[in-house]
Amino acid sequence: MNDMDNWFIAKDSSKHLENALKWRGCNSDSARKKFTKNSGCRFITVDPMHCLFLGIAKWIVKRIWVNMRVLSSNNLNNIQKKMNEFQVPADLGQILGKIYCGEDFSNFTVDQWRIFISIYATVVLWKYLEEVDRKILTYFVQICHLFVNRILEIKSLDEIHKKIVDVITLIEKKYGRNVITPNLHLSLYLSACSHDFGPLYAFWCFSFERMNGILGSLPNSHQQIEPELMRRLINDNRINEMIYTENNTKDLEILNTRQSVGSLSEMDQFEPFPGEMLKPFSENIPLSADGILDLMIAYYNDTYENLKFWKPFETDSLNSIIIPLKINKYSKFASEDDSINIYPGQIQFFFVHEISTNRINMENHYLAYVRWHKKIKNRFYFDINQEQMCNVELWDTEFYSKNRNCIIPVYHILG
């Protein structure tokens, strides 16, 4: 690890072009392979699906913590009970009865390793690990969280690479050089691969494996599978062409450029909302329920500081903007010191509210009604004290009282 700076030496793009022209001038495949081996540019990726989850995650948990008795059989039994208490969204999948059975963590698929590391690991493993192992876990979970984002900033790649180096260094110091595997070495190139080819979503094998599953589920004779599947795809394509080339076919309106719509406000800098609310929905729902009308008035008065909004039939409402009493019912949070924090909340519903701020044109505001969870004292229980790094925060199950902050534009919802 001491000579790592010599492992990653950036090459000049003009040199790449020169080598590409020389490669094209080779007269045979063997000559091209020989030239590529000596002078080829960086074009082979490390598959993050197998490297991170089936490789490193599985290896750290099973080969180090389980095999080296960091996690005992009794610990695994308690971990399984703790995981059974989790309530995760159905689309994320479940990990049931696989921790404390067979060879421990038996038959975990790569997707289950991803789910275990991202959602369960910090909470269920924390109290059984010593300080160094907690750092290894925290760094690795942070690496996975950053890497699996669909939008990955260039500056994050350096942070990810540093954390990978920290994980390998901690493992080497505590468990010895002999436990270092090729997957750990390959992980040092993941940031470079992501820099060259984009976020891991662009080239990891999840989509490939899923497509294999879809193709494998199609009826076939189990004799000549490839041509049978190709004939099926060709026939389906012909049927689609016949459907969409009829004389009465409408133009593909979805490809037309649509005018952006948004929740217009001075505070939100007129940020556009590129989309539409999804069904089912209810029209003309009164705002009087649950005191939402009062919250809406407070929201508009805070958002449009130069205007004044009132309920209908109130005094002084002649020179003010009257709030319509009907909505079509279909998260950042500003604290008292004007700093911006992220708060977890539970969305009650989405809705569209139409109002005129200039007494001429009506504008749609796409909003959400959110209840915000309360803080608790031990919010950063799973942190590394010296570095203030925490992958899991604890929040109260109770909500703050209803106030103006329960109404937010939909594009302020973080995830």
Model pTM? 0.66
Q: Which of 198-212, 226-240, 268-282, 306-320 has the lowest mean pLDDT?
A: 268-282
Secondary structure letter of residue 399 according to DSSP: E
130 near 138, Cβ under 8 Å? no
What average pLDDT does range 324-343 have in this prediction?
A: 55
Cis-peptide into 280, omega within 30 deg: yes
Q: How far apart are CA 343 and CA 372, in angstroms?
A: 7
pLDDT band at 397 (very low <50, low <70, confident <90, very high): confident
402 near 149, Cβ under 8 Å? no
Strands 321-322 and 309-310: parallel
Q: How far apart are the first and last CA of the chain?
A: 38
- pLDDT for residue 257 is more than 50: no
Q: How far apart are CA 127 and CA 121, in angstroms?
A: 11
Q: How far apart are CA 274 and CA 269, in angstroms?
A: 15
Q: Give the HSE-up count for residue 26: Cα atoms under 13 Å, Cβ half-sphere.
A: 16
pLDDT band at 242 (very low <50, low <70, confident <90, very high): confident
**Nearest partner of 346 among 317, 368, 367, judged by Cα:** 368
pLDDT top residue among 51 and 325? 51
**Nearest partner of 1 among 169, 176, 140, judged by Cα:** 169
19 near 39, Cβ under 8 Å? yes
pLDDT band at 335 (very low <50, low <70, confident <90, very high): very low
What average pLDDT does range 208-227 have in this prediction?
A: 81
Strands (E) in 330-415, as ranges, are 332-334, 340-342, 345-355, 363-375, 383-384, 389-390, 395-399, 407-409
Domain residue extents for the chain: 48-202, 261-412
Strands 261-262 and 309-310: unpaired
Q: How far apart are CA 193 and CA 203, in angstroms?
A: 9
pLDDT at 165: 92
Amino acid letter at 117? I
**Nearest partner of 142 among 206, 47, 52, judged by Cα:** 52
Tell me the backbone φ, ψ of residue 227, rounded to 5 degrees. Answer: -65, -30
Q: Which of 41-45, 118-122, 155-159 has the lowest mean pLDDT?
A: 41-45
- pLDDT for residue 137 is more than 90: yes
Tell me how far CA of residue 99 lies from CA of 90, 93, 108, 113, 114, in angstroms: 20, 15, 9, 11, 15
pLDDT band at 169 (very low <50, low <70, confident <90, very high): very high
What average pLDDT does range 379-402 have in this prediction?
A: 79
